[in-house]
């Protein structure tokens, strides 16, 4: 039926899927390591203009001050993650972050805010024992993305814009090895089969499968979905982070859920319900608004569902007591964004709601960003394990850039010593046909997408219950069937309905992994809260692993490896373990 499909082929040493922080830093690091290698970056949107890193307001956690240390940052990260972090990944994050920030400034030209003595300014973020968040006003992500993208342009990197990945391609004689990816040019509808020695997933997770979300809307868990189909191993997919302060417009605008960053609470902002009460006194009287995101988000959600929220289903954040000049100087971007929506951030309260923000779970990697599939790497939000049950604000962009660098270096080393293996032509044909099957007559993807968002918000959201999650699984099974049969009329060139059909297929697939994992974890920990299992277990801590075998999802618990520090040990009892590897 589709035998005459447009297809062109490419060969490259390194293929990077995504151009957020992880993809950009990976490309730069790979080129720096070995300029002779061909590096190709494919981005679903526009280069330097899409993805979530660009949207980062708050900043970058890094231990720079003499009175701080990477050990302190490590302990904060483990405590924030409720002790189920992969400790080797967490240690890699905190120990490499200082050097990464230095390279962002000296190599890429990023210029972060300064103290009067010329040192880098660091501000307060919640859940941390030290004010260690480096920033550029409240537009940190734009600074990083712009400067690194400029460096790639200067080096003449091969960039494919408006090009999405639709499948990973197995090697012809080694089906476990990834030998590149099948891409789709969104503008023309042309397929591009890219043969690569190493392939990096850096598409960003982005829980846009929830009714209210803070993510770049082009994200649709594409990287996770294609990795799942290829047989990658995932960990802790139940851990979805909700940010407590997404702007609430109440009029159905897509901007609902866009963040007001954590620095507002770090600077002393107050959260209030409709009655004007600072409700965090009920949930964390010691840390109040500076509690971790899981605690603060659940608190706001509880206020709303128990009837103490606003008529439109929100609560308020108020920073007016900090002074108008202070707020306007330090949070210029948010002041302007709020003004566009009719709010005066510096002068009074702004209505907010919890919003789906980040996925701590993802493809399991080792400290070199390798997955269980040879030739496939993952970094940024596509990769799981670093943050455990809850990510600290400011650790996200650090995670993307640190592990992006590591992935680039590791791929450059592998590609320099490896042959280019051909991909399986039959697998390519199957992937091409499955993608084209979404063209034609059938149900529109849009109602399926809306029902998915409602299902995930109501059944697998901030507060969960085993029976409700099980109900959600049944609904997801039906949505998966409908998504498989969804079609988009029209041609292949710039057919946004076709793209949304492909999006919803991926989103439903990943939503199932979240729901399955939420059922498996029969306790409450970090961002995963079950009101039928409200206790957090002190013994036998475990990670939830899930992998596709045939058509089945195989799920198992694995004990947490306390490779450097046990939760009951003194913080000074850090050990130096052997390097970890993917099994």
Does 545 map to a domain?
no
In the residue annotation, 357 being an active-site residue is answered as no
Does 92 map to a domain?
no
Judge whether residue 528 has pLDDT over 90: yes
Task: Give mean pLDDT, residues 546-575.
Answer: 90
pTM: 0.95
In the residue annotation, 265 being an active-site residue is answered as yes
Kindly provide the b/e burial profile for residues 91-117, where b requires at least 16 CB atoms within 10 angstroms of the residue's own CB: bbbbebbeebbebbeeebebebbeeee
What domain range includes position 295? 243-356
Catalytic: which of 103, 132, 147, 243? 243
Does 344 map to a domain?
yes
Cα separations (Å) of 410 from 368, 404, 415? 6, 10, 9
Phi, psi of 234 (to 5 degrees): -115, 155
Which range has the worst mean pLDDT, 44-58, 134-148, 225-239? Answer: 44-58
For residue range 156-205, what is the model confidence (pLDDT) as tens digits? Answer: 999 999 999 999 999 999 999 999 999 999 999 999 999 999 999 999 98
What is the rounded distance in angstroms from the CA atom of residue 455 to the CA atom of residue 447?
A: 12
Which of 340, 356, 372 is a domain's end point?
Answer: 356
User: For the domain that residue 458 is a member of, what is the CATH number?
Assistant: 1.20.58.100
Which of 356, 374, 407 is a domain's end point?
Answer: 356
Does 525 map to a domain?
yes
For residue range 457-483, what is the model confidence (pLDDT) as tens digits? Answer: 999 999 999 999 999 999 999 999 999
Place of tokens 């995670």: 399
Per-residue pLDDT at 582 = 45
Does 346 map to a domain?
yes
Q: How many domains does the chain have?
A: 2
Domain match, 352 and 451 both: no
Does 308 map to a domain?
yes
What is the rounded distance in angstroms from the CA atom of residue 78 to the CA atom of residue 21?
A: 23
User: For the domain that residue 336 is a member of, what is the CATH number?
Assistant: 3.90.700.10
Does 145 map to a domain?
no
Does 326 map to a domain?
yes
Domain match, 352 and 447 both: no
Which of 291, 325, 356 is a domain's end point?
Answer: 356
Domain match, 247 and 351 both: yes
Per-residue pLDDT at 539 = 84
Cβ-Cβ contacts under 8 Å for 467 (sequence gap 6 or more):
532
What is the rounded distance in angstroms from the CA atom of residue 483 to the CA atom of residue 318?
A: 42
Catalytic: which of 31, 96, 265, 298? 265
């Amino acid at each position: 039926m589709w035998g005459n499909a447009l297809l062109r082929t490419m060969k490259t040493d390194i293929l990077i899927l995504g151009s957020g922080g992880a993809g950009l830093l990976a490309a730069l690091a790979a080129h720096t390591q070995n300029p002779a290698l061909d590096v190709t970056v494919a981005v679903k949107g526009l280069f330097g203009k899409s993805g979530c890193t660009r949207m980062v307001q708050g900043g970058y956690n890094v231990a720079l001050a003499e009175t701080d240390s990477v050990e302190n940052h490590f302990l904060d990260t483990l405590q924030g993650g409720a002790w189920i972090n992969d400790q080797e990944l967490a240690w890699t994050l905190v120990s490499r972050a200082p050097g990464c920030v230095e390279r962002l400034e000296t190599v890429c030209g990023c210029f972060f805010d300064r103290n009067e003595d010329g040192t880098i300014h660091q501000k307060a973020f919640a859940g941390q024992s030290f004010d260690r968040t480096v920033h550029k006003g409240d537009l940190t992500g734009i600074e990083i993305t712009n400067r690194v993208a400029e460096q790639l342009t200067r080096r003449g990197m091969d960039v494919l814009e408006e090009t999405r990945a639709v499948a990973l391609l197995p090697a012809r004689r080694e089906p476990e090895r990834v030998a590149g990816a099948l891409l789709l040019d969104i503008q023309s509808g042309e397929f591009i089969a890219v043969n690569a020695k190493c392939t990096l997933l850096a598409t960003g997770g982005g829980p846009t499968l929830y009714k209210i979300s803070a993510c770049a809307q082009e994200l649709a868990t594409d990287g996770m979905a294609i990795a799942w189909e290829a047989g990658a191993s995932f960990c802790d997919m139940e851990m979805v982070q909700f940010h407590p302060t997404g702007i609430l417009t109440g009029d159905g605008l897509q901007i609902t859920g866009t963040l007001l960053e954590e620095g507002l609470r770090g600077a002393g902002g107050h959260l209030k319900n409709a009655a004007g009460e600072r409700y965090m006194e009920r949930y964390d009287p010691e840390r109040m608004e500076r509690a971790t995101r899981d605690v603060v988000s659940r608190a706001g959600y509880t206020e709303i569902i128990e009837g103490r929220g606003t008529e439109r289903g929100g609560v308020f954040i108020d920073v007016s007591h900090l002074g108008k000049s202070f707020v306007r100087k330090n949070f210029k971007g948010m002041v302007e964004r709020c003004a566009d929506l009719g709010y005066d951030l510096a002068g009074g309260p702004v209505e907010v709601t919890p919003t789906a923000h980040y996925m701590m779970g993802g493809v399991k990697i080792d400290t070199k960003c390798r997955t269980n599939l040879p030739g496939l790497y993952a970094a940024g939000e596509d990769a799981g394990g670093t943050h455990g049950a809850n990510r600290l604000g400011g650790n996200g962009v650090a995670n993307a850039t640190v592990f992006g660098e590591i992935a680039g270096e590791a791929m450059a080393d592998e590609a320099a010593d490896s042959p280019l293996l051909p991909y399986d032509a039959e697998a390519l044909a199957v992937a091409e046909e499955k993608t084209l099957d979404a063209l034609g007559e059938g149900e529109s993807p849009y109602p399926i997408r809306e029902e998915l968002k409602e299902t995930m918000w109501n059944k697998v959201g901030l507060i969960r219950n085993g029976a409700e999650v099980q109900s959600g699984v049944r609904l997801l099974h039906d949505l998966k069937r409908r998504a498989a049969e969804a079609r988009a009329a029209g041609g292949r060139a710039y057919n946004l309905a076709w793209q949304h059909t492909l999006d919803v297929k991926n989103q439903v697939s990943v939503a199932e992994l979240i729901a399955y994992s939420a059922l498996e974890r029969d306790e409450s920990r970090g961002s995963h809260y079950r009101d039928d299992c409200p206790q957090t277990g002190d013994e036998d801590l475990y990670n939830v692993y899930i992998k596709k075998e045939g058509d089945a999802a195989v799920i198992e618990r694995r004990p947490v490896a306390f490779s450097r520090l046990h939760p009951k040990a003194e913080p000074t009892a850090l050990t130096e373990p052997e390097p970890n590897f993917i099994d």
